[in-house]
Amino acid sequence: MSNSSLVKFTQALNEEWGVVSSALTLKSKLLLEDLTQTCLNDDWYKDLVKSKSPAKEIYRSEKHGFILMGHVEQNGELSPPHDHGNGWVLYSTVIGQVDMGIYQKIIKTDGSLHLVQKDAYPLKAGQCSVYLQGDIHDTHTVEDNTVMLRLTSCDFNKEVEEGRLVRFIKNVEKW
């Protein structure tokens, strides 16, 4: 059984983990990029690809609460604009491509909330992006069998259940 890249990643991240900071997000990004580029022969990765699971928990730190998720997505899959509540997240693509849209909340003169897309870029194999608390983005998968890794600072299911993670479906202006 080979899981050497995952073991290396989880050990290093557990040693570095702490309060969110520039140093932690940079170190986490570098570690996740390395995992993305070295995991192809790991058993957990082969199992993820074989399962074609849209969301599979790969690792959960009992000590720190961060979670590594694996996702196998198909062309055309969308995740609407959303924030991450009190958490932060890193997305990395192993194989394939996901287009990321970046949004900003705008309050109109009538007081209503409006989202305006301010940027978009492709997240290609081997690349990683960081989204901090308050950042709003969406994802659009553009290749079949795209494999993404998502490192979350906390359990996002809890963020959703407690009403902190917001998905924006109305009043979204896209390019």
Average of per-residue pLDDT across 112-118 = 91
Average of per-residue pLDDT across 121-134 = 96
Task: Give yes or no for residue 174 having a pLDDT over 90.
Answer: no
pLDDT of residue 113: 86
Please answer whether residues 85 and 166 qualify as being in contact, where contact means their C-beta atoms are separated by less than 8 angstroms.
yes
Task: Give yes or no for residue 173 having a pLDDT over 90.
Answer: no
Domain, as residue range, for 145: 4-173
pLDDT of residue 1: 58
Better pLDDT: 175 or 20: 20
Number of domains in the chain: 1
DSSP per-residue string spanning 60-96 = E-TTT--EEEEEEE-TT-EEEEE--TT--EEEEEEES
How far apart, in Å, are the Cα atoms of 152 and each of 1, 29, 105, 148?
26, 12, 22, 13
pLDDT of residue 95: 97
Q: Residue 39 maps to which CATH number?
A: 2.60.120.10
pLDDT of residue 175: 74
Q: What is the C-alpha to C-alpha distance for residues 61 and 74, in angstroms, rounded to an integer?
A: 28
Query: pLDDT per residue over 2-14, tens digit each?
Result: 889 999 999 999 9
Crossing angle for the helix pair 22-38 and 4-16, to the nearest 10 degrees: 180
Report which of 43, 48, 4 is spatially closest to residue 148, judged by C-alpha positions. 48
Q: What is the C-alpha to C-alpha distance for residues 107 and 91, in angstroms, rounded to an integer?
A: 28
The identity of residue 88, as a single letter, is W
CA torsion angle 39 66 63 60 (round to 10): -50
Query: pLDDT per residue over 68-110, tens digit each?
Result: 999 999 999 999 999 999 999 999 999 999 999 999 999 989 9
pLDDT of residue 80: 94
Per-residue confidence band for 135, with pLDDT thresholds at 50, 70 and 90: very high
The first and second tokens of residue 128, run together, are 């990683």
Per-residue confidence band for 31, with pLDDT thresholds at 50, 70 and 90: very high
Average of per-residue pLDDT across 61-68 = 97
